[in-house]
Structure 1
């Protein structure tokens, strides 16, 4: 039976974020191996609630039926303030079905939290956030292939989202709206090449013990294409990290490499910020 007072006292929200195609799916699968964590793969319910709150504030006048004639602002504030209370019982129920009898963290993985991070900090003051960084050249290359975009559109998209994340982290850490220990930072290459050790570091930061059985489960994710595991009935596909790493060198021509290098140079200070401050 769901005990609300005990659950909200002991259990914290945990969100996985990063630029699209930067390894967020792989990270979610690693984190989710722990028996005391349940992280969904892009349920996106938090973003959906905040989106609906905006429409409630605009009401019928801006959004038509079924949005309110009156009290929209008031109910929107209530909804965002209490969204954790609304969402958490779903995670408790799902955890029970998965055999995770006592979770200490619940949350979701979604690359586009950059757009609502300020609202998340307000709605989830006890929340933790795990951000993963991958070489932006590889990210741009992956976005280009995945979306069928040209290099310039892909580079603009990736660099904009990354810059928004970093400026938000810097702002909220300096203002102390986010405590430093609320943000855990991960490097994709380190995680991929030293999976057990880097996973141990993450769970240590979450103050969770790591059993050998969980480490073995984590180890099984090595060499598997993470997106091939996203659907329950899909079969795992092999993944070669060495072929994937620095793929931009193999797939982009000199003109494209120069273009993305110039785009990245414009935000290089935020990459330095990540490695010299956040990841250190």
Structure 2
């Protein structure tokens, strides 16, 4: 069964809706996206014999939880891809973070939702060297909404501290970095990337997810699409945010038809 599983990773910047997208993807019986196991960063450090540390663009929570639950698996003599499948399938069947335990006998795609980590060039290279061809689902959101979400989340717990002391322009720079990393996956590493704008997912969920499933060569029912549509909660009440859009950010925005 393992040989038939294709790695699938959400990439982009944090606070772009990746948790929401992961839950939608998991409605499909042939997909499982974990809730932040930090699996690629964990395996990269393990197989390169590095000390386990949090990713530079993330908190330690997912990594620490994975090590707490699955450190003993790392003692087995498995290839990186076999280890990836084993830990991720255990996370699926055990339940991980806020996700309940589940089983998927027809599983075809397996991955994690850490978008900034997953786009890190060294992790993309690690996958290219050790995994079968991966699929990447690129979720992008207007930078003003990303920055607004980061600043709103900043005072909170569970990782919000990452943005608590960051200025808005610094977060914008991080957004540009993440999006340029995604561009590298597309053009330099020649990997398969599916683009999805958060705004399209919210406003046109059925068309958006049909495109995703079609690109993954997965079948789907009308009832699944309706379930997805029913999960959408639109929020048009957004606080204004003053943000100077840099030239670098503008170039990214133009690639995805943002004004």
Q: TM-score range by the shorter chain?
A: 0.7 to 0.9
Match of 1:228 in 2: none
1:31 aligns with 2:31: no
Match of 2:2 in 1: 7
SS in 2 for 1:170: helix
SS in 2 for 1:183: strand
For structure 1, list consecutive stretches of 5 or more residues without a partner in the other structure: 1-5, 60-78, 224-239
Q: 2:84 aligns with which of 83, 87, 90?
A: 87
Match of 2:173 in 1: 159
CA deviation string 1:148-206 (max 9, x = no partner): 3579624313432x32333334334334x223xx1011011111011112111110110
Match of 1:101 in 2: 105
For 2:183 and 2:210, locate their aligned partners in 1 and report how far apart those are by CA, in whole Å: 26
Q: Matches of residues 130-169 of structure 1 in structure 2 within 5 Å?
A: 130-148=137-155, 149=163, 153-160=167-174, 162-169=175-182
| Alpha-carbon shift at residue 214 of structure 1 (Å) | 1.7
Match of 1:206 in 2: 216
Distance change in 2, residues 1:209/1:50 (3 Å): same
* RMSD across aligned positions (CA): 2.8
SS in 2 for 1:48: helix
TM-score by length of 1: 0.68
Which one has a bigger Cα radius of gyration?
Answer: 1
How many pairs were matched up?
217
TM-score by length of 2: 0.73
Match of 2:136 in 1: 129
Q: 2:115 aligns with which of 96, 111, 116?
A: 111
Q: Matches of residues 1-280 of structure 1 in structure 2 within 5 Å?
A: 6-8=1-3, 10-54=4-48, 56=49, 82-92=79-89, 98-113=102-117, 114-115=119-120, 116-148=123-155, 149=163, 153-160=167-174, 162-175=175-188, 177-179=189-191, 182-223=192-233, 240-243=234-237, 247-249=238-240, 252=241, 257=242, 260-263=243-246, 265-275=247-257
Higher helix share: 1
For 1:30 and 1:42, locate their aligned partners in 2 and report how far apart those are by CA, in whole Å: 15
For 1:173 and 1:135, locate their aligned partners in 2 and report how far apart those are by CA, in whole Å: 20
For 1:272 and 1:44, locate their aligned partners in 2 and report how far apart those are by CA, in whole Å: 31
